[in-house]
Amino acid sequence: MRRSLYNPMGTTALVTGASSGLGVGYAHQLAQRGADLVLVARRQDRLEALAVDLAEKYGTVSTVIPLDLTAPDAVPELVADLTSRNVTVGTLVNSAGFGTIGNFVDADADRQAEQITLNILALTRLTHALLPDLISTATLHPNAAALVNLASTAAFQPVPHMSVYAASKAYVLSFTEALWYETGTSGLKVIAVCPGYVDTEFSAVAGNHQSTDRHLTVDQVMASTFAALDRSSTPPQVIVGALNAVLARAAILSPRRTVLTVAGRLR
């Protein structure tokens, strides 16, 4: 199969959740491919350190925007900031997100609302605001523009003890696949990335204490993402890890009650 290299050189990529984990991984990969960066997350010190690292390694110019995307006006403020700086975003990576573990009845209501706001609402609003620029970049610079949304293997079935998180990622997967179709003639590369557990701060925040030998690495997620983006026809989703792909497909085909029982016992 002929492969078409995703080449964002000379464009600008915005990465949310860029202060740690997968966000840092995406920032490095995009900078290595020649994109300038807009780095968005809450922790300014980490963003600034990352910007210096990217500049030293790749000569990348990074714009640091410390921002809590769960704040009510965060996305409009971010878009206004980009406009004031005359920044046109050609690639958007919605990497920011978090999960919680435990029975829903015992969960903190405000924390669950923050999870929905970050995983769903902020992602949707930011995608809507920047999609015209992404499509315009794709038209002007073929194979240079992409929308990458972080979903999860949890998107393929309900997950007891992580009910809100799994539901939010099901939304991200469905939403992204629909956009893949809607933008199909534009040249924009649209993909939902579906890893399982990744060895990042996410697990600690969620309260997951599983052995890290079951976790993917950031490098594995990056390799799967960019291999998909480098295809001449980028698929609407990529499941990271062969076993994860088998389990996700099994969840789709199995009776719902069976899926729930198995998922509930895997905590």
CA distance 16 to 24: 9
Print the domain residue range for 141.
12-265
Residue 203: the pLDDT is: 52
Residue 251 pLDDT greater than 70, yes or no: no
Residue 244 pLDDT greater than 80, yes or no: no
Residue 1: the pLDDT is: 43
CA distance 5 to 203: 32
Catalytic residue among 6, 26, 58, 165: 165
The answer to the question of residue 87 being in a domain is yes
Question: What is the count of structural domains for the chain?
Answer: 1
Instruction: For the chain, give the mean pLDDT.
Output: 90
The answer to the question of residue 219 being in a domain is yes
The answer to the question of residue 60 being in a domain is yes
Reported as a single tens digit per residue, the pLDDT across 102-143 is: 999 999 999 999 999 999 999 999 999 999 999 999 999 999
CATH number for 56? 3.40.50.720
% residues pLDDT > 70 (the chain): 84
The answer to the question of residue 166 being in a domain is yes
The answer to the question of residue 36 being in a domain is yes
Residue 168: the pLDDT is: 98
Annotation marks residue 165 as catalytic:
yes
Looking at this protein, which amino acid is placed at residue 137?
Answer: T
Residue 209: the pLDDT is: 47
Reported as a single tens digit per residue, the pLDDT across 40-52 is: 999 999 999 999 9
Between residues 261 and 166, the one the model is more confident about:
166
Query: What string of DSSP letters covers 137-196?
Result: HHHHSTT--EEEEE--GGGGS--TTSHHHHHHHHHHHHHHHHHHHHTTTTT-EEEEEE-S
Residue 196: the pLDDT is: 84
The answer to the question of residue 250 being in a domain is yes
The answer to the question of residue 107 being in a domain is yes
pTM of the predicted structure, to 2 decimals = 0.90
The answer to the question of residue 224 being in a domain is yes
**Strand residues in the chain grouped as ranges (E):** 12-16, 36-41, 62-66, 91-94, 146-150, 189-194, 237-239
